[in-house]
Amino acid sequence: MFYDQTKVILKAGKGGHGCVSFLRQKYMPNGGPNGGSGGTGGDVRIVADVNVGDLRAFHFNPQWKAKNGEPGRGGDQNGKGGEDCIIKVPPGTVVQLRDSDEIVCELLEPDQEITLLEGGRGGRGNATFKSSVNQTPRQFTDGSPGQEGDYVFTLKTIADVGLVGFPNAGKSTLLNTLSNASVKVDSYPFTTLFPTVGVVEYPEDYDRITMADVPGLIEGAADNRGLGHRFLRHVERCEIILILLDLASTDQRDPLEDFLQLRTELDNYDSEVAAKSFVVAGNKMDEPASAENLERFRHAYPEIPIFPISAILEEGLTELKADLRSRLR
């Protein structure tokens, strides 16, 4: 199971209370105040970690809390500050307020760190109230509470290229062939149920790009049918969209209608996503019906270049890889 959205309850630590104490030692019966101040509560910090794959840790444990600060003690001992709560999330995570959907922050770069909630301040001990006119103060203050809030974490995959297409178009096969990914491949729809990011390498100059296999869309995905929004949000941060068409007309689908439907779904979901640069690849050129459908597409859309490929036979991939890199550089 892949967890790309979850609700969390976060709370920073409370500050420790101040202490009232007076020095009591032999031969010093009237010692002065020596009550220490409380320690500061721990912060809640969120860190982007490339070693974290999804948000499953928060699905099973939605409540996270930093440690409270220790109270002050006699002998001018200040309380120890509370330990911070460090939350590790995948790069690409968006943090929103649960009630208003307001975006608080986005973590896009590896090792990016943001203090989400600050711990409460420690209370003052009576030693801090001593003055020339207040030699034996008995005042102290309590520690203040830490900040808290309810949030929604949403993961939006970060990749250079987003690979989209209808079920059985061959996206997983193409990603497995082009990259180091290992995605499940089978003949039935929706074998891929979560986005997978692979690295496409260019051995000639040691360059590389990342490609995300976004699970197969269906008609009405932009209206959140099926798992529409859950899938479509993973193409928001991709620089290029690679539209993969099944030219073999598997499942009696028309690749020209599929192209129109995919463009419509992207536009209905987010016009900015639809405006991204896109590349069209026609897969399954090893099948008999593919050549005719390729010509139909070129006739219907002469202004849109299409790359005929066979992912399973690894044909036509060199030209496709070169074009993708040229658009990113």
Q: Which of 82-91, 198-207, 273-282 has the lowest mean pLDDT?
A: 198-207
pLDDT value at residue 187? 45
Q: How much of the chain, in percent, has pLDDT values that exceed 90? A: 58
- Residue 73 in this model has a pLDDT that exceeds 60: yes
**Tell me, which fold does domain 1-155 have in CATH?**
Spo0b-associated Gtp-binding Protein; Chain: A, (2.70.210)
- Residue 305 in this model has a pLDDT that exceeds 90: yes
pLDDT value at residue 224? 42
Task: Give the residue range(s) of CATH 3.40.50.300 domains in the chain.
Answer: 161-328
- Residue 247 in this model has a pLDDT that exceeds 60: yes
Q: Which of 162-166, 183-187, 289-293 has the lowest mean pLDDT?
A: 183-187
Q: Which of 89-93, 181-185, 288-292 has the lowest mean pLDDT?
A: 181-185
- pLDDT tens-digit map of 106-148: 998 999 999 999 999 999 999 999 998 998 899 999 999 999 9
Task: Give the residue range(s) of CATH 2.70.210.12 domains in the chain.
Answer: 1-155
**Tell me, which fold does domain 161-328 have in CATH?**
Rossmann fold (3.40.50)
Band the pLDDT of 230: cuts 50, 70, 90. low
pLDDT value at residue 217? 59
pTM, 2 dp? 0.73
- pLDDT tens-digit map of 249-268: 877 889 999 999 889 888 88
- pLDDT tens-digit map of 8-53: 999 999 999 999 999 887 776 677 899 999 999 999 999 999 899 8
- Residue 216 in this model has a pLDDT that exceeds 70: no
pLDDT value at residue 226? 42
pLDDT value at residue 194? 62
Instruction: Say how many C-beta atoms besides its own lie within 10 A of residue 223's C-beta.
Output: 12
